[in-house]
Amino acid sequence: MDNLNLFDAEYKFMCIVWECEPVNSTELTRLCLNKLGWKKSTTYTMIRKLSERNVVKNEKATVTALIKREQVQKYESETLLEKAFDNSLPFFLTAFLKDKQLNKEEAAELQKMIEEATK
């Protein structure tokens, strides 16, 4: 799943693609300049590199994603869980929620997710 492992700059770039796709490559360079401060050459280099990794498709100067944001988020969360929390969701939640207060809606939403996951 090498194409799901994105560096920070790649992820920021992909967020723009996901929000705007299909997007003309010229428009994408303008968006990357405004949002990321990138020069045109940087954007085109990113398009080329991610195309080679089958993350995006650049066809007729139109860029579209070949992977979904949710796939990358799932991969990243599973990698973090494995690397930092010994694959323990309770350890992760304990660390994440330490010194935080959930409102009733958030607590109910988490409870619902837990109930659905244990069916």
- Going along the chain from its start, the domains and CATH numbers come out as 2-69 (1.10.10.10)
72, pLDDT greater than 70: yes
Averaged pLDDT for residues 98-108: 93
> Whole-angstrom Cα distance, residue 61 to residue 85?
42
Highest mean pLDDT among 60-64, 99-103, 113-117: 60-64
Averaged pLDDT for residues 65-91: 95
For residue 23, count CB atoms less than 10 angstroms from its CB and return exposed for 0-12, middle for 13-18, buried for 19 or more: buried
Average confidence score pLDDT of the chain: 95
> Whole-angstrom Cα distance, residue 119 to residue 116?
6
1, pLDDT greater than 90: no
pLDDT, one tens digit per residue, over 28-62 is 999 999 999 999 999 999 999 999 999 999 999 99
2, pLDDT greater than 90: no
* b/e 38-73 (16+ beta carbons within 10 angstroms → b): beeebbbebbeebeebebbeeeeeebebebeeeebe
> Whole-angstrom Cα distance, residue 115 to residue 42?
45
Written as six digits, the tokens of 107 are: 């607590």
pLDDT, one tens digit per residue, over 62-71 is 999 999 999 9
Written as six digits, the tokens of 7 are: 């560096």
* The pLDDT of residue 119: 83
